[in-house]
Structure 1
Amino acid sequence: MARYVKISCLTAPQLRVPPETGLEDTVVRMIAFWERQLEQVLPDRPDLIVLPECCDRPEKSGYTAERMKEYYRYRGNRIRDFFARVAAERNCWIAYSAVRELEDGTFRNSTQLLDRSGSVAGIYNKNHLVEGERTNGGMLYGKDAPIFETEFGRVACAICFDLNFDDLRLRYAAQKPDLILFSSAYHGGLMQQYWAYSCRAFFAGSIYTHATSSIISPVGEVIATSTNYYHYVTRTVNLDSVVIHIDYNEAHFRKIKNKYGTKVTIHDPGLLGSVLLSSETDEFTALDIIREFGLIPLDDYWERANAHRCAPGNMEP
């Protein structure tokens, strides 16, 4: 059954607040700043808003590590609670990325996923910090790769430097998320598309304004981006989609279209050899089509190909 979700990736530069500014004034300015940013996407009524890494950290120029910690401690959960109120009032999810202090006094670089009621539905702690976040910022590395269940699908999170590490990507690929939320200060280039295709998941990345924010399909195709003029992007995607290879499946494509017409989309991004099959109806799911026509999902096809390679007599001595 079609699972449409409207996603906004909201990019913004870090707010410049001189370090000698009072902490209360800094928090007030930060909330006002994000109120202005949200005004750009809220009229489109997104189901989900993704924010960049450390979105409520002042621009660091002039800040010592200790002054930044003072800010974090004073801020507490106030800005998270501001976003939670927005989520509840506007009936949307928000991926809020920020440094947070735990009860034991240690820090994490985290994405907190706020649901439509404003509650914290899950927390992801950045697994792969850059070294300075630990040595200068006092943060600890995260160790878990959780999947969060939402009404529109299974969601994973990654933050900035995470995108460079295969161990985290492969842990997510094994769990088969529908959507990866990426909050970052760095873009990652082709790694964004590689993660999307490797995990067979849609990818929504929110990056600071020096680079574009993007929404990417499970076949690694960039389907929407922010621009140099408008630092946000909103797009509706259909999470009821399955990646399949053309081999052994293509013979059924015309039969599927003849029977179901616009109720099924088979999208070829070109050059890849794989297509994205999506159900555009409430009558059946993409997996129902897979079963009805005996199609082979991509990961099953790779396993079959490897098994055939290793079968007795098939490999050179």
Structure 2
Amino acid sequence: MRRNMISRRKFLSASAMAAGGVTIASGGLANTLPGAVTESAAREVWIATVSQMDMAAETPALMVERIFEVLREALVFKPDIICLPELFNTSNIKRKYTFKEEVAFSAETLKQFAAFAKTNNCYVICPVYTEEAGSVYNSAVVFDRQGKRLGEYRKAHIVEDEVSFGLTPGTLSPPVFKTDFGIIGIQICFDILWEDCWRKLRESGAEIVFWPSAFAGGQMVNTRAWQNRYHVVSSTRKDTSKICDMSGMEIAKTGIWNRNLVCAPINLEKAFVHVWPHVFQFEKIKEKYGRKIRITIFHEEEWAIIESLSPEVKVKDVLKEFNIRTFEQHVQDSEVAQIKARKQ
């Protein structure tokens, strides 16, 4: 995208014009923005994510105020969910505090963002320290639209310095959270170097995984998306924060002209499939559904994303109608056949 923070009306208009109908690319990627949606998209979710790039404050309280100032820019888009960076309230702080003091600041921060979520009718992922039974965790607390605490994810793969500070690693079976728009999961910073929890989130049905972090991650963020066939959203203390489609393509990201915030829509009504042999059904789908379905082909990878652009059409029904398996089903069926063949 040349510009990430454009008006919602212009964004939707541009997306609709690009979509036009079913897109079957030839000679490369479809020249539509992967994940871009139309006004009639079946499961549109507006996501806001923050980068703390070049943000500093004297105290944690002042940093929270600065974050609220940034988020005010997102409220015009009425985001469904907002994600903040890892331990944002005690990061980039000029005054020095002890670890115990930093942990104590978190309770007040959580109260403030619970109230923010309720006032603005949105989910909020608030990454701070949490305590339970004498243990301290690097966590991401999830608030619903009423400001109620849905639960928290505790960073599983903490770094050595965090161990020396006294932090406890979280479970290797990460929870998922059911929202009114879909199922989400969370990973934090160093977790990106391990595949285990990302895979478990996929197996638990996660459709979006949020990644609050101290660093930007670069292509690792995109890779986790296409490897696991779900959207990934990063929120970082420095450099780029971004929203990635399940194909790994970037839908929107922060940059020179929108350094600290990006807000954009994604469509969750889609499926990731292997092209062969399902490509023979694509023209039939096009003939029947026209503009209601978009198919984007990634030729070299032989992936395709089948996406509903109409609330009247559910992708799972289209897959069933045309006997198309998801990528996950395709791989599982092949593995079963391989195991059976080896036993013969």
What is the TM-score when the length of structure 1 is the normalising length?
A: 0.88
Distance 1:292 1:72, change over 3 A: same
Structure 2 distance, partners of 1:28, 1:139, is 23
Distance 1:312 1:36, change over 3 A: closer
Distance 1:173 1:105, change over 3 A: same
Paired residue for 1:223? 251
Deviation at 1:162, TM superposition (A): 0.3
Deviation at 1:69, TM superposition (A): 1.6
Q: Where do 1:111-126 residues align within 5 Å?
A: 111-126=140-155
The one-character-per-residue Cα deviations of 1:68-113 (angstroms, maximum 9, x if unpaired) are 322432x2421111111111111111111111233x3321100111
Q: Where do 1:198-213 residues align within 5 Å?
A: 198-209=227-238, 211-213=239-241
Kept after mapping to 2: 8 A contact 1:14/1:58? no
Deviation at 1:13, TM superposition (A): 4.0
5+ long unaligned stretches in structure 2: 1-40
The one-character-per-residue Cα deviations of 1:52-81 (angstroms, maximum 9, x if unpaired) are 1101114366736xx2322432x2421111
Query: How many residue pairs align between the two structures?
Result: 302
3-state SS, counterpart of residue 186 of structure 1: coil
Distance 1:2 1:38, change over 3 A: same
Deviation at 1:287, TM superposition (A): 0.4
Candidates 67, 82, 94, aligned match of 1:49: 82
Q: Where do 1:277-316 residues align within 5 Å?
A: 277-312=306-341
Kept after mapping to 1: 8 A contact 2:117/2:143? yes
Distance 1:46 1:312, change over 3 A: closer
* RMSD over aligned Cα atoms: 2.1
Could you list the structure 1 runs, at least 4 aligned residues long, displaced by more than 6 angstroms after superposition.
none
Deviation at 1:179, TM superposition (A): 0.6
Q: Partner amino acid for 2:188?
A: I
Paired residue for 2:96? 63
The one-character-per-residue Cα deviations of 1:130-180 (angstroms, maximum 9, x if unpaired) are 111111x21100013101111110101000000001221221222231110
**Structure having greater relative contact order (Cα 8 Å, sep ≥ 6):** 2
Structure 1 distance, partners of 2:252, 2:240, is 10
Structure 1 distance, partners of 2:249, 2:99, is 38
Structure 2 distance, partners of 1:28, 1:49, is 19
Kept after mapping to 2: 8 A contact 1:49/1:95? yes
What is the TM-score when the length of structure 2 is the normalising length?
A: 0.82
Paired residue for 1:179? 208
Structure 2 distance, partners of 1:297, 1:314, is 26
Q: Where do 1:50-129 residues align within 5 Å?
A: 50-59=83-92, 63=96, 67-73=98-104, 75-102=105-132, 104-129=133-158
Q: Partner amino acid for 2:183?
A: R
Structure 2 distance, partners of 1:278, 1:10, is 27
3-state SS, counterpart of residue 89 of structure 2: coil
Q: Where do 1:182-261 residues align within 5 Å?
A: 182-209=211-238, 211-230=239-258, 231-261=260-290
Q: Partner amino acid for 1:134?
A: V
Q: Partner amino acid for 2:107?
A: N
5+ long unaligned stretches in structure 1: 19-25
Paired residue for 2:43? 3
Paired residue for 2:291? 262
Structure 2 distance, partners of 1:15, 1:196, is 28
Kept after mapping to 2: 8 A contact 1:183/1:206? yes
Deviation at 1:238, TM superposition (A): 0.7
Structure 1 distance, partners of 2:257, 2:309, is 33
Distance 1:206 1:212, change over 3 A: same
